[in-house]
Structure 1
Amino acid sequence: MNYFQLEAKVVSRGAGRSVIAAAAYASCSRLYNDYDGLTHDYTRKHGCLYSEVFLPQYAPEEWKDRQLLWEAVESVEKTKDSRLARELVVALPSELSLDDWKSMLKRFVREQGIDLGMCADVNIHDPYPPGHNPHSHILFTMRPLDEHGKWQTKTQKEYLCKRGGEERGFTADEFKTAKTQGWEKQYMYQFGEKRQYLTPSEAEKIEGCIRTSKTPKSTRYGRQNPLTALWNSEEQIFAWRKSWEMIVNEEQERHGIADRVDCRSHAARGLTEQPTVHEGYHARKLESMGIVSDRCELNRQIRADNKLLRELKKQVQKLMKAVKENIPALASALETLRDNMIFLQYQLIVNTSQQEAVTSQKNLLADILAEYKNVKAEFKAKTAEKKELIAEQKNCGIHFIRASKLGEQIAALTEDIEELKFQKAGLLSQLNCQDNGIAARKQNLKKMENALETLEQQRAALSEQKEADKTEFLEIRDGIAPENMDAVMQEREKLRPDGRVGLVRKLYEKYKNKYSSATFDEANRQIDAELKEQPIQKKKRSISEQLKMPKQETPQPKKQKKKEYER
């Protein structure tokens, strides 16, 4: 096992998920969800080797049955966006046995879940073919238990109380003591046209002050249970990752396996390679059906880039050992590093172009969606205002002047509403959708934001590698004795044509018909300027040299109809 994976997700109703469904999938079993009346049957799914529920000290023993455990979780959570469980997906070392996996997972859930008061549902999957992707699904509860085995609250109402000029939050129990110390709850009062939160003692001093609400002023989200806050913190996720890293490495060391895993990111470890993205079941399913998945295609590209970078690094390392005062080796090392930098600079130019294109589309789409949101909100407000005025006009009775003024206001609002309808229709036309298609456009915007984030990560990795190559290049060039400089340059001139052919071939293999000779020339120019080198005049190639160059196909692209918001 030479990779680390611990993916932490939340099973939430707000995302349309059910913990009963998640538990049924993880255990390859059939479970019934009383909350929505659905039965989730995954008994036909293969590859589940082990399933067990682990409980903390105070949990009811009957919760060993996962049906009862997750029913209890579903029933205690009342809101439509409740967070039901924390799901961890961890990769298991393929070199170890099922018993080893069980031992590792039992230790992990005991130290990082059960001892903290969580219930844990642990399942081991080893899908076909065996050994290619062993992993575990772990479901942790997210609501603490008290010493009587009852669920604790995740949050408590926190009242914003006042004493003098000071404001402080108290729970209901805390307020009983705070009240004796002079703290008062605040309520909404109205005096004249002004509405304001006041304490009862403050309201008594204001003439004509009327209390308009029975609900005291409170914090928006209440006070979170300290245990819940801990379990939902980034520190807890890092603790899980660090603990799993330690358990895996200790187990592999015990079995004499040299491989070690590291829970840190590539950036934290100082690696220049780009990390791959998680593909997931659906992406691999599409690939098995012969459909190219964006995630799988991105990973293939990342692996190809990383492989090429590793090969280039090996070449540079070999050349660095032989450089010293060997003129051919010095020239070869410098040309190899220069070619590496041109290869990376070409990718940076393409990356910049892609970022600019996606940013332009994203900004345009975001502006249209923002304007649509404002128009829709204004339309809703004016429609509601018009309804209120119509209702008021009907009740005017003999107050004809008032009715006439209201009629004028209604007519003006009607014109405004029609104008807003026209604006809304225009915006929908630009988006090329109806009202029910706005959600899809927002998803498109999110995809563009994700694409920009990926491009920025790629840009950072490419820039870092280019800077490393530049540093090596300058160290070698600056270390050449002045009397050898002309000889090294002559040797580099001999190597340059073949290096150019090989570099163009690599770029063509990577970009196919999207390869651009103009971009290649620009990358050459930029690198020469960065290295402060005079470009070598290109000699006319012989027929045999021209045949070595890959032919660039330039098919005429089909004209595609632009989307409305791109015009």
Structure 2
Amino acid sequence: MAIFHMNFSNISAGKGRSAVASASYRSGEKLYSEMENKTYFYNRSVMPESFILLPENAPEWAKDRQKLWNEVEAVDRKVNSRYAKEFNVALPIELSEDEQKELLTEYVQKIFVDKGMVADVAIHRDHDENPHAHVMLTNRPFNADGSWGQKAKKEYILDENGNKTYTANGHARSRKIWLVDWDKVGKVEEWRKAWADHVNSVFQEKNIDERISEKTLEAQGINDIATQHVGVTGNRDERAEFNKLVLENRQHKAELENLDEKINNELKVKQLKNFYSFNEKKVIAELSKELHTFIDLEHLEEKNKMLFNWKNSVLIKQIVGKDVSEELNKVSRQEFSLDNANRLIDKVVDRSIKAMYPTVDSNAFSMPEKRQLIRETESENKVFTGAELDDRLSMIRADSLNRQIVALTKRPFTSLTMLSKQEKYHIDNINNVLAYQGYNYENIEMSHGKILRNYESEEFSKELDIIQRSLKQINSIEEVRKIVEQQYSVVLGTIFPDSELNKLSLVEKEKTYNAVIYFNPTIKKLTQSELENIVKEPPILFSTKEHNQGLSYLAGRIRLEDINNKHLTRVLKFEGTKKLFIGEAKADKNIDPELLKEATNRNDKQSYKNEFYRDKNMENYQSVAYSDTSPAEYMNRLFSGVLISVLYNNENQHKKGLEEVEWDMERKHREHTKTGGLSR
């Protein structure tokens, strides 16, 4: 039976691939890479049949495989450049080798080369039953003079008078105009269908009954495993053997699916059920009934949000004097049950962490972070180890704070200082409204809604609306403050266990938090000498390649997902650590000055846009400035002698106490010697 197999992919710098190396592997030819100053050669037992097809306008040198792909890499030098498209395709074994080559050549010429692509074709025949071809296609067209052309151009959006139009931020509006349609959505599906049609046309011409389709078996309505025809009429025995293997494969696949399901279920049971005691299972059943939801990590998180919003709504009704006693009783009962459920789940999470991750210091992580680790373990059906575990924990810690705050406030976190100023603003709003009656914000709760009843009339609806909105914001800010303070307490308390954090201002805490997230992503305890060494000579955390990747992201050339270094992606997400990265990159002598300038300019513009947005959408917003600085300057300014003494206060006190004890013992020893050991 003829089969359809055709996969497309990109050969790109962003994925660390080389066009020259790819061409060498597929063609079996020894090729020298000018960019890497390296020769590639992959020895093959069966030499591929390779050739290059040129479109109109292509220069003659493009027939030289080594020159062609070195030129491609030279013209596209961005870190995320896509050098070539590639597809591999199964050749129908119903045709002879010459017919296979003719079929492939006609298809590639008509579909790609005639449209302007250079096609580097390599036919592999290592196995008789699996003839296939690899085809590399250039992404850029050629100009009429043989030079490389452009894939797209920028076109400004003009008004009716032919003048440029601008955005609110003063940027000229423009759009990207593609000069070729090779990246158009649906193009790959079009190419796959064209191959199926081309093969079927040849089969029809040669009176071969077989047909292929680019659609999956499921899309064709066939619930079966795809099979491969191993020969023509003279190979009945081989076909019978293959069909036997197909049946065995179906059986093995079903067994593997059942086994995989059992493994998944077993792991989930181990994580979320086997760590419950018999009595806890009974309590879980009762709480699930009371809360009208299944008790697990996912459902409890949703229930927490729902109850938070419900309570806010009821409290506002109470403040304006409505009878909400029945609703408050319901909320109170739900809160009680939810607290019990959360405490029980937290116990189970702690047990799970200790059982599956014995090397993790459970006390160094907040409960939301430990919950997230268990959730990811379950969802990915994998217990993380080694560097992967460190990366996962760092990512969870960096993301958990922002995720919780966005869930509460619907906006990204900037700083605790900003939250305090916003809270004061809303309290002042309430005080201004209540001042006419001689009351203030502190009197509201004590009055049980009596103060606000005078505002229930239509005449004072505006004032009542101000109070309701401000009260909701104050409540939300208080919840956010708890989350942020907990995060600071856990992280800084883990790294500096002997510190007196209450002596630090909020600004100092935030700056210290940024510094340790940047230089100590695994959140390990730092001795005073270790911290002083980091301050004295901050380590260079990223290579030139990573500096280029980070700056390319900041310049808008690549996506964050294209960067493999997890710590770098975390650093680039937050404004404070982002500035430290830029400062480190500036000291890298191998960085292209133009890329650095483009990245810093775009980042500054983006920061300005974020500030502009917050100022417009957040009442009384106060900017928190992150000035450009090198890591050395930042650390030296931040970790002064005063801050060091606060972070290591208890440790220094302990050392001082030991010294005093030693001195006192020495004094008594001298007195004892002086008196000859006689009692006084």
TM-score of the two chains, using structure 2 as the length reference: 0.39
Compare relative contact order (CA 8 Å, sep 6+) and give the higher one, 1 or 2: 1
TM-score of the two chains, using structure 1 as the length reference: 0.46
**Structure (1 or 2) with the greater strand fraction:** 1
